[in-house]
Amino acid sequence: MSHWIIVPVILPAILGGLMVMALRHDLVLQRVFALACGGTLWAVASALLWAATTGAPEVYHLGNWPAPFGIVLMLDRLSALMVWITATLALILQLYAIGTGWDRKGRHFHALWQFQLMGICGAFLTADAFNLFVFFEVLLIASYGLMIHGGGAERVRAGVQYIAFNLVGSALFLFALATIYSVTGTLNMADLAVKMQTLPEGSSALMRVAAVLLFLVFAIKGALVPLQFWLPGTYANAPGVVAALFAVMTKVGAYAVLRFGTLVFPQSLAATGSMVADLLLPAALVTLILGALGVLGATSLPRLVAFAAIASMGTLFTSMAAFTPASSAATLYYLLHSTFATALMFVVADMIGARRAQARLSEVSPPLAQAGLIAALYFAGAVALAGMPPLSGFLGKLLVLQAQRGAANLVWPVILITSLILILGFVRAGSMIFWKAHEGGAKAGDHAPEALAFVSAFLLLAVLVSLTVLAGPVTVWAEATAAYLHDPAAYIAANQLYEAP
């Protein structure tokens, strides 16, 4: 049994505590430790990804209790991928936070960042539904602190809305878990998958209620219509670098839907059947349309990117809703792309926000400092997020469309038309920011170059480019992962469930 599985949870937890206790007044040491931890976490996550790819799924018994009684962590291809995405994104964004000085604008930025990573990695690794709830709360409570980092009346007010929304979500999560427990008597995910198959006839109605409650919670996390109201206000008001990290937080919702939809509530299950998919698809399509319209109508750039994030979650869930191996493979590729593309756009929006005199898009403002580089980044980010060639967004949408070929439904027209609307929205905002700026003949603004921030943004772009160049191997990997996900026997066997002698 490899102890490395728990490192992505333990390492940030220890370092976050250390930062609060010992390093609270020394920003330079905090930065050094944060980067060292980020680098280590990335190396461990890469090694775990390699181990999960080459080997069978691996279980980690906490306290060495056998599976349904003790809490277990599971390392398989999906969770290793999600942890790797988190570690990569967090390391790149730490450079941005240091480069722009976001971590100076309030206390405990790096400590909260570590706790955020602990919660996200834990949520991806755990194989126990109640433990998933606990890690959700860990990542949420860290995100509350990060979201209001820097302060300001409007940001704090948006923070209160965000907390309230998520507290309701937590209550729903507990209702769902308690209902599941009352029917099955277990909360271990592999054990649940086994017990679901032999559910007594009379319990299936209760289980359907529990499933709907559970997916409602994941829909809140994934910003699925009609539960997306928290996202635009939160992401637009959060510090840019935090909003970029939150790009992986919506993916926690997507991950949970994919995990529970294939493992615990598969299509073949008698009690729920295709209920999950039937509910998910219309909601995802409406999410996509609403996100695209929001991009067209947004009044400020952070809001525009927030709606683009909603649209990309819509595409992700649309692809996921089919729950076939092909569609799940496309979902995984699009998930990789969408995380980094959304983060890149939030970073660019933050750069523009720091340099532009007017927050509103409709008002003309003098040219930006370093306008050339920022315009190039904006262009690349918009191309990626709208799904135009040559970047990975195009390939991702192509895979999504290909996986849904032949299905007589609205997926093709909605994805294609919303892509056009997204392009229009990005073009409108880009021309207002970069081209209209020269009309007044005003001098360019003055702003420090912040080389590290540009390094970080170009690293995000480099991930997208390598995702495009390596699309072949990544797709093959995603197909193997999807095949594994749709045959949960390997996952269940790896849990080594205790059987009464």
Partner 1 sequence: MEALIAASLGLLTTAGIYLMLRQRTFPLILGLTFLSYAVNVFIFAVGRLAVDLPPIVDKAAPGYTDPLPQALVLTAIVISFGMTAVIVIMALGAYLSAGNDRTDSADGTGMAGRANPGMNSEAHSGAHSGASSAASSAASSAAGDDRT
- According to the binding rule CB under 8 A, does residue 164 interact with partner 1? yes
Q: What is the rounded CA–CA span in Å between residue 317 and residue 320? A: 5
Nearer to partner 1, 261 or 302 (CB): 302
Longest dimension (CA), the chain: 83
Q: What is the rounded CA–CA span in Å between residue 252 and residue 254? A: 5
Of 32, 36, 160, 455, which one interacts with partner 1 (CB under 8 A)?
160
Q: How far is CA 180 from the centre of its chain?
A: 26
Q: What is the rounded CA–CA span in Å between residue 369 and residue 443? A: 10
Nearer to partner 1, 133 or 394 (CB): 133
Nearer to partner 1, 353 or 430 (CB): 353
Tell the burial category of 349 from Cβ atoms under 10 Å away from its Cβ (0-12, 13-18, 19+).
buried
- List the beta bridge partners of residue 74: 59
Report the nearest approach of partner 1 to the CB of residue 174 (Å): 4
Report the nearest approach of partner 1 to the CB of residue 298 (Å): 8
Strand ranges (E), 18-172: 58-61, 72-75
Of 108, 155, 259, 355, which one interacts with partner 1 (CB under 8 A)?
155
Of 163, 207, 283, 332, which one interacts with partner 1 (CB under 8 A)?
163
* Reduced 3-state DSSP string for 243-255: HHHHHHHHHHHHH
Q: What is the rounded CA–CA span in Å between residue 60 and residue 92? A: 29
**DSSP state, 204?**
H
Q: What is the rounded CA–CA span in Å between residue 108 and residue 90? A: 16
Q: What is the rounded CA–CA span in Å between residue 109 and residue 398? A: 39
Is residue 84 within 8 A of residue 46, CB to CB? The reply is: yes
Write out the two tokens for 4: 């490395």
Nearest to 423 by CA among 314, 316, 292, 275: 292
Report the nearest approach of partner 1 to the CB of residue 105 (Å): 11
**DSSP state, 73?**
E
Nearer to partner 1, 300 or 339 (CB): 300
Of 70, 106, 150, 445, which one interacts with partner 1 (CB under 8 A)?
150
- According to the binding rule CB under 8 A, does residue 470 interact with partner 1? no
* Per-residue mark of binding to partner 1, 228-257 (x: CB under 8 A): ----xx--xx--------------------
Report the nearest approach of partner 1 to the CB of residue 236 (Å): 4
Report the nearest approach of partner 1 to the CB of residue 348 (Å): 16
Q: Tell which positions 266-305 bind partner 1, by CB under 8 A.
A: 299-300, 302-303
Q: How many chain residues bind partner 1 (CB under 8 A)? A: 44
* Per-residue mark of binding to partner 1, 93-132 (x: CB under 8 A): -------------------------------------x--
Nearest to 270 by CA among 195, 343, 217: 195
* Per-residue mark of binding to partner 1, 172-201 (x: CB under 8 A): --xx-xxx-xx-------------------
Q: Which helix or strand (DSSP H or E) is residue 161 part of?
A: helix 153-184
Of 2, 46, 170, 203, which one interacts with partner 1 (CB under 8 A)?
170
Report the nearest approach of partner 1 to the CB of residue 303 (Å): 4
- According to the binding rule CB under 8 A, does residue 169 interact with partner 1? no
List contacts with partner 1 (CB under 8 A): 130, 134, 137, 140-141, 144, 148, 150-161, 163-164, 167-168, 170-171, 174-175, 177-179, 181-182, 232-233, 236-237, 299-300, 302-303, 306, 353, 359-360
